[in-house]
Amino acid sequence: MNEQSVIFFDIDGTLLDHNKELPVSTKEAIHELKRRGHFVAIATGRGPFMFKKIGDELGIDTFVSYNGQYVVVKGEVVYKNPMELASLEKLIQASVKNDHPIVFMDPNKMKANVPEHPYITAGFSSLKVGTPTVDPLYYQENDIFQSLLFCEEGKEKQYEEEFPAFDFVRWHEVSVDVLPKGGSKAKGIEKVMEKLHIPNDRIYAFGDGLNDLEMLSTIENSVAMGNGVDEVKEVAKYITKPVDEDGILHGLKMVGLL
């Protein structure tokens, strides 16, 4: 058997195609990786409740979720980094003035601070995970690991200047992820590796979006999807085919794991 490696996969645009479906070749490739003794994990901006079905289907119980803020290894929570409450309250006040809705996210649920908004509808329809129910005070009683701020491109700049406690990472033309400053998938992966003790040259990562930049620029064996944004292609060691052209299978062969 090959020496064990660990492979981290982003979800949207990496494991899932643009229809939010798991290509057959991807599913077979991941099962083959596991059959060969490798360790497979997820690294995503989604929350755990948003990818449980994928995790169950692929038999994956190790993940970096919320862009590194909530990390689970073999079913055990090993790291939590919730948003700082006082700063979050100020962000909410500013966003309400600007008619920019917010969605609060914890490991089990997501709650919006307004009943309806076209931007929320647009963002979540692209994810195909349903829309959040409303509870404007949900953040007061629950640890929030990531929020979604809904605003047009460029409008996040004012928040970046006003709220240094947070990072703002765009994932949709009308929405940005809001997470604790300095948080990233790369940081979350560090927490996983503290438990797994696999050397750096046996760590691999696949991704396609702006929230994969830190992960693909720090992990030695990084693979950008052919459908990925230019920024991730510039920092990745390898570039594979697009997700809907058997990109995962091709990439795993490219790096010698299959």
Quick count: other Cβ atoms within 10 Å of Cβ 52?
Answer: 11
Active site (annotated) includes residue 10 = yes
Identify which of 9, 13, 1 has the alpha carbon closest to the alpha carbon of residue 228.
13
Contact 216, 200 (CB under 8 A): no
Quick count: other Cβ atoms within 10 Å of Cβ 128?
Answer: 11
Q: What count of residues does the chain have?
A: 258
Identify which of 22, 71, 78, 23 has the alpha carbon closest to the alpha carbon of residue 47.
71
Contact 78, 58 (CB under 8 A): no
Which positions are catalytic? 10
